[in-house]
Amino acid sequence: MKTKKNIPQPGKNIIALLTDFGTEDHYVAAMKGRILSLNPSAAIVDITHAVEPHNVRQGEYLLWSAYRFFPRGTIFIGIVDPGVGTERTILAIQSPEYTFIIPHNGLVNAVLNEEPKFYAVQIDLKKSADYFHFPISTTFHGRDIFAPLAAHLSLGVSIEEFGDRTELPPAVPLFMHLRDETVKPRILHIDHFGNIITNIRVPAQAEAERAVKAIGIGHNLVSRWIRAYADALDNTPCLIVGSSGLVEISIKNKKASAVLSISLDTPLKMYWK
C-alpha cells in the first residue's frame, strides 16, 4: 500500500462520526470497533447519531454546525444514506483543513459552500479493495467501507488511493438569507430543548429584527424577538438568533416544538417589514 502523507497533520488521528443510526443498536459500536482495529490510537468523536432516519437535510445542517470547531486534519464520516447498497456513489472530499467521507447525496453541501477549495475522489470499490472489510454488506457500508477508509486516512493514506478525482456540481444552498427568496424557508432541526432551528441565516440579530416582521409556522405567527432565551414572556413563542447564526423559534422553559405541534416538515412563511 502506498502512503502519501498529504493529510493536514494536527488532528489527523481524530475521526468524527455523524449518522442516523441511533444508539440502541450495535451499528455505531461496530464502526468504532472497525476503526480501532486498524488504528488503536484513533480518537473517535460522536457528533450525533440522532439524525432523523433518512433526513439528509437535517444531517447536512448538523455536520455544518459542528465541523469547523474541530482541529485541522480531522476526518469526518457522515452517514445518512437511504441509498445504501444501490448504485449511489461514495465520496472522499479533502479541503485545506478537513477530510470527509460521505455518500454522494448532498449531505456535505453546506460544508462545501464554506470550503470552496476542495477536491473530491469517487470511491472505486475495485481500486481500493485492499482497504475495505470483506465481505461488504449491502446494508452496512458504514462498517465495511466508510470506517476502514477513515482509519486508513488517519494512518496517512492519501484519498487518491481510493479512487479517481471527480468534479462535483455546485453545492445546493441550504440557507436562506434575509429577503433572498431563492431558497425557501425551512425547519432544519429541533434540538434537545425543543427549539425550532430554521435555515434563515442572518449576519446579526439587529439586522434580522429590522427585516423580519414575523414567521408563520403551522397555524402560528411568531413576531416577538428576544436576545436570550430567558428574556421571553411565559408561554410566548419568540424569535431568536441561535449560536449558529440561524433564526430559531423558542418558548421559555418549554419545548416549542411540542407546544406548537411542530415537526421537521412543518412549512414556514416569511413576513417582511
Residue-wise pLDDT tens digits, 6-54 = 444 556 799 999 999 999 999 999 999 999 999 999 999 999 999 999 9
Domain that holds residue 210: 176-272
In a shared domain, residues 119 and 180: no
Whether 120 is covered by a domain: the verdict is yes
- What was the pLDDT predicted at 128? 84
In a shared domain, residues 147 and 236: no
The share of the chain scoring above pLDDT 90, in percent, equals 88
**d(C-alpha 111, C-alpha 64), whole Å:** 5
**Domains in the chain, number:** 2
- What was the pLDDT predicted at 7? 44
Select from 130, 147, 166 the last residue of a domain.
166
In a shared domain, residues 112 and 82: yes
If pLDDT is split at 50, 70 and 90, which confidence band does 2 have? very low
pTM attached to this predicted model: 0.93
Select from 113, 132, 166 the last residue of a domain.
166
Whether 139 is covered by a domain: the verdict is yes
In a shared domain, residues 115 and 182: no
- What was the pLDDT predicted at 5? 45
CATH code of the domain containing 210: 2.40.30.90
- What was the pLDDT predicted at 245? 96
Whether 7 is covered by a domain: the verdict is no
Whether 3 is covered by a domain: the verdict is no
Backbone angles phi, psi at 194, to 5 degrees: 85, 5
Whether 4 is covered by a domain: the verdict is no
Select from 139, 166, 193 the last residue of a domain.
166
Whether 211 is covered by a domain: the verdict is yes
Whether 232 is covered by a domain: the verdict is yes
Q: Is the pLDDT of residue 240 over 60?
A: yes
Q: Is the pLDDT of residue 209 over 80?
A: yes
pLDDT digits (tens, 9 = 90+) for 126-142: 888 889 878 899 999 99
Q: Is the pLDDT of residue 237 over 70?
A: yes
- What was the pLDDT predicted at 9? 53
CATH code of the domain containing 153: 3.40.50.10790
Whole-number mean pLDDT of the chain? Answer: 93
In a shared domain, residues 129 and 208: no
- What was the pLDDT predicted at 10? 52
In a shared domain, residues 180 and 157: no
In a shared domain, residues 157 and 203: no
